[in-house]
Amino acid sequence: MDLVLHTYWRSSAAWRVRAALALKGLAWDGVPHDLRANAQRAPDYVARNPQALVPALEIDGAVLTQSLAIIEYLEERFPQPPLLPADLLERARVRAFALAVACDIHPVQNLRVLRMLKKRGLDQPAIDEWAREVIESGLAACSRLIEHREGPFCFGAEVTLADIVLIPQMANARRFGARIDYPRLEAVEVAALAHPAFAASRPEVQADADPA
């Protein structure tokens, strides 16, 4: 089974899938798409992924899109180690946390939206302030979702989908200079970045990363 991941080193959504693949112990070949140069809009890629977004995962001749759908697929096909708890209510809580980031933070501060704001005449400080507002209010809610739970990870002793989605968003927060004052989230970040799967999947060590 060959796995081909369409990726971009700095894409949060691609990082999620890279982390999930690493956690599942699955090797992959990468096809990089430089989003700054709109490489993901090349016709041969759009033919595979009509949304013209990364990531996409080629597996068994199929092209899977949307990071959370890809991760749910990996979870169903390669159940060990699990990225979701066994208990149904706990699964719902982990998924809700992941969606709180993947729906309500990331798409509202990603490159596409920032470009739309620029087109409407917002200057760079105003655009960065937009991103910070979205990230800060979103992470505040995420922090409250897990403040009463034991660590070291979002939902306890094991890495779950929640951590997979949180860690790239924390990196985005730092990039935009958002105020990060959530001890619980910061502790999760420290624990996760010390985990080999996150260390191997982080942007800076990808083959297509800019030189430091």
Binding site for a second copy (CB under 8 A): 50-53, 60, 62, 64-66, 68-70, 72-73, 76-77, 88-89, 91-93, 95-96, 98-100, 102-104, 106-108, 113, 116-117, 120, 122, 126, 130, 133, 141, 144-145
Any residues with CB less than 8 A from the CB of 196 and at least 6 apart, and which? 22
* Dist. CA 166–CA 177, nearest whole Å: 16
Nearer residue to a second copy within complex by CB, 104 or 200:
104
Q: In what side-by-side order are the strands of the sheet with 62-65?
A: 29-32, 3-7, 56-59, 62-65
Nearer residue to a second copy within complex by CB, 5 or 195:
5
Q: Which residue has the tokens 């297509």?
A: 208
- Least distance from a second copy to the Cβ atom of residue 73, Å: 4
- Least distance from a second copy to the Cβ atom of residue 119, Å: 9
Nearer residue to a second copy within complex by CB, 42 or 194:
42
- Least distance from a second copy to the Cβ atom of residue 13, Å: 9
Please say whether the dihedral angle defined by the alpha carbons of residues 69, 25, 202 and 93, taken in this order, is positive or negative.
Answer: positive
* Dist. CA 114–CA 110, nearest whole Å: 6
Nearer residue to a second copy within complex by CB, 90 or 209:
90
